[in-house]
Every structure is written in C-alpha cells, then in structure tokens.
Amino acid sequence: MTKHVNIILEGMVQGVFFRESTLDKARELSIAGFILNQPDGSVFIEAEGDESSVATFVDWCKQGPPQANVQKCTTTDAEIKGFSEFEIHSV
C-alpha cells in the first residue's frame, strides 16, 4: 500500500549535503517526492512509496548523512499526490 508523509527535520540539516544524500536514499528506496531547505534552517520533505520503504526512509532521515545532526524529526501522514520521482526543490 502506498503511503505519503510530510517530514520536517530540525538541527544541523543545511549545508551538510542533506538534500543530495536524501535524493540518493530516496532513489535507492524507490521513494518519490521532494526535499526543500526552509528559511528557518529546517528541511521539509514530502515522501511517497510503499509503507515499508517510507518507514525505512523516515528512519534514515532521523540520522541523515554523516555531517548532519538531526535534533528533531516531525512526520505527518498526508494524502497521496502521485509524485513520479524524487527531486530537490529550491526556495
């Protein structure tokens, strides 16, 4: 079953290759959606995929790449949007 989650990550999550690393992980797990740096220093992600892949993806996001320091991860379920791939968005 397909699942869609919105993820907000706070901490040292910008300037540490978080978006690029997340893109690689999303492609590895067949996750579609996007990642976006927020003006407040957080990162916002919309992710869709099968339930187990989304759960694995969220667990990875809680750690992020080696340079990151995720202090808070907030996830909320949302409606399926039918993304076809995972992308990095700019503000």
What are the backbone angles phi and psi of residue 28, rounded to the nearest 5°?
A: -60, -35
**Model pLDDT for residues 31-76, shown as the tens digit of each residue:** 999 999 999 999 999 999 999 999 999 999 999 999 999 999 999 9
Confidence of residue 1 (pLDDT cuts 50, 70, 90): confident
Domain boundaries, the chain: 2-83
Fold of the domain spanning 2-83: Alpha-Beta Plaits (3.30.70)
**Model pLDDT for residues 75-88, shown as the tens digit of each residue:** 999 999 999 999 99
Bridge-based pairing of strands 32-37 and 86-89 is: parallel
CA 40 from centroid of its chain's CA atoms:
17
Give the residue-averaged pLDDT of 10-30: 97
Please identify every residue annotated as catalytic.
19, 37
